[in-house]
């Protein structure tokens, strides 16, 4: 019934720094179905933002390794040249809403132009037509037409975020990558933006990759959850399964650490600190902090085990 729209296979993204090679994305594979939203959850520095950049190929200058496959409806877009990628993929197929939405708008260009710009570039519309579409996109996210002539500094934080979303939607892409889209916003504004994203997803049949550090927030959008730790995806499961019974010890700990308002459970913390991506631990990257680690965990990096119906986990505990 559902088709796979995006597949990542052994995606790797390493940076070269003065301290050594940072293995930000290490052998990451996942599938994204049409109309599905995948929540990518992990603590800061786990490589989740790098993964987003690897998919839309926004690479920093100090890139060391960038390999693997990214299949968009079966086509390996890693094989495209930079120009082809820019013309065929960016914003036409995949759009992105950035973490620092506040800073994602050019301070000296008017809102209307910035929203319309992708149309001018990719669909070669004339200015009038593009503006009409931009106004429409802004209306969808709840911004009045009169703001078209305004500059970003005249907008509030929530409005900027909506503008950035409108900018991402204006070309009707298939996939929207949301990188912590509400991290700088207040809870009520955040809830409003989440409501908007939920509606858009239904109405426009969008596929989301939703990146967040907040397991509570991820449940707002997730059909499927992928947990990332030290540059690797540790567990993938559909939302119902994941929130009911996470399989990976790290996922379990992460769930347990979340303070909740409506339940009585006491949150626990995970002892130790996240590993460095330059010199990660041997074997399973989580083993130094894992309460159920055994011998093998420190020696061999576990493969991915399928627990049935697409529930994948990277942990020796599930070896037969």
Q: Which two tokens stand for residue 141?
A: 């996210």
Looking at the Cβ atoms of 27 and 96, the one nearer to other proteins is 96
Q: How far is CA 75 from CA 7, 122, 207, in A?
A: 10, 20, 17
Q: Which of 75, 139, 205, 216 binds other proteins (CB under 8 A)?
A: 216
Residue 292 lies near other proteins (rule: CB under 8 A): no
Q: Could you tell me which stretch among 2-10, 129-137, 247-255, 299-307 binds other proteins (CB under 8 A)?
A: 247-255
By CB under 8 A, what part of segment 250-289 binds other proteins?
Answer: 253-255, 257-263, 266-270, 273-274
Looking at the Cβ atoms of 103 and 292, the one nearer to other proteins is 103
Looking at the Cβ atoms of 62 and 67, the one nearer to other proteins is 62
Q: Could you tell me which stretch among 69-77, 99-107, 298-306, 310-318 binds other proteins (CB under 8 A)?
A: 99-107
- For residues 11 and 23, the answer to whether their CB atoms sit within 8 Å is no
Distance of closest approach, residue 177 Cβ to other proteins, in angstroms:
9
Residue 90 lies near other proteins (rule: CB under 8 A): yes
Distance of closest approach, residue 56 Cβ to other proteins, in angstroms:
6
Q: Which of 14, 15, 30, 91 binds other proteins (CB under 8 A)?
A: 91
Distance of closest approach, residue 3 Cβ to other proteins, in angstroms:
20
Q: Could you tell me which stretch among 7-15, 67-75, 184-192, 304-312 binds other proteins (CB under 8 A)?
A: 184-192
Residue 2 lies near other proteins (rule: CB under 8 A): no
Distance of closest approach, residue 63 Cβ to other proteins, in angstroms:
11
């Amino acid at each position: 019934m559902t088709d796979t729209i995006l597949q990542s296979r052994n995606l790797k993204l390493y940076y070269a720094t003065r301290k050594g090679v940072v293995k930000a994305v290490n052998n990451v594979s996942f599938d994204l179905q049409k109309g599905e939203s995948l929540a990518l959850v992990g603590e800061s520095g786990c490589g989740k933002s790098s993964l987003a950049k690897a998919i839309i190929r926004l690479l920093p200058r100090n890139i060391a390794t960038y390999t693997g496959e990214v299949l968009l409806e079966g086509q390996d877009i890693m094989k495209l040249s930079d120009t082809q990628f820019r013309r065929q993929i960016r914003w036409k197929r995949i759009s992105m809403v950035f973490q620092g939405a506040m800073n994602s708008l050019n301070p000296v260009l008017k809102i209307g132009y910035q929203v319309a710009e992708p149309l001018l570039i990719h669909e070669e519309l004339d200015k009038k037509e593009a503006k009409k579409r931009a106004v429409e996109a802004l209306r969808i996210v709840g911004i009045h037409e009169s703001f078209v002539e305004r500059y970003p500094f005249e907008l509030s934080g929530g409005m900027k975020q909506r503008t950035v979303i409108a900018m991402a939607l204006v070309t009707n892409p298939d996939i929207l990558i949301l990188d912590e889209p509400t991290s700088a916003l207040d809870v009520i504004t955040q809830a409003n933006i989440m409501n908007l994203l939920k509606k858009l997803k239904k109405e426009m049949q969008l596929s989301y990759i939703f990146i967040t550090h907040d397991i509570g927030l991820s449940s707002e959008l997730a059909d499927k959850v992928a947990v990332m730790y030290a540059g690797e995806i540790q567990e993938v499961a559909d939302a119902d399964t994941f929130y009911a019974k996470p399989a990976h010890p790290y996922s379990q700990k992460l769930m347990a650490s979340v303070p909740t308002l409506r339940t009585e459970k006491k949150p626990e913390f995970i002892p130790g600190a996240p590993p460095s991506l330059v010199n990660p631990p041997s074997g399973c990257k989580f083993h130094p902090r894992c309460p159920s680690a055994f011998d093998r965990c420190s020696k061999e990096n576990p493969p991915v085990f399928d627990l049935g119906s697409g529930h994948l986990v990277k942990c020796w505990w599930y070896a037969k």
